[in-house]
Amino acid sequence: MDLYYDEVNTPIGPLLVVSDGEHILRIDYGSMEEREVDLQNWAKRYIGQVTLVKNAERVSEVQRQLQAYFSHERNEFSIPFRFHGTPFQKKVWNALYELIPFGKTVSYKEIATAIGQPKAVRAVGGAVNKNPFSVIVPCHRVVGANGKMVGYNGGLDKKEYLLNHESIIL
């Protein structure tokens, strides 16, 4: 199976966008050169053997929407995407996407409560850390119970940039 990809240059570095031709499957921090081994391992687990084909046209809508976001012309995304992960991870990622509006933050505890598992705060943190859709599924808007920035898969500098970009001051 072919997976299509391209890199989008952003103020926080390159974002690697991967599609199956119909749905966006991943948006990761970094370039293909940096991420290829991880991407192949992920694909083997969830899809099977894949061939990675650079094709900007297959991910052009995501590129357009990301550029509009970073230019302050858009604060929501409308792209067809598909989650590949455990049922628990998918539940957390859906909650991130559906429950955290632009310019707001929530705590890990609030996400755990929203998915009906208020004691699963640490597991929620683990799922948030594995979010396959950087920026678009807003894991950068999840903060600690005290309202402070805590870990971020892309690095706290990127999280801080995104929160400032959305005018969220912590």
DSSP-derived secondary structure letter, 140: G
Q: How far is CA 117 from the centre of its chain?
A: 22
Are residues 148 and 170 in contact, defined by beta-carbon separation less than 8 angstroms? Answer: yes
Question: What radius of gyration do the chain's Cα atoms show?
Answer: 16
Which residues are annotated as catalytic?
A: 139
What is the spatial distance between Cα 170 and Cα 158, in angstroms, rounded to a whole number?
14
Of 105, 103, 97, 142, which is closest to residue 124 (Cα–Cα)?
A: 142
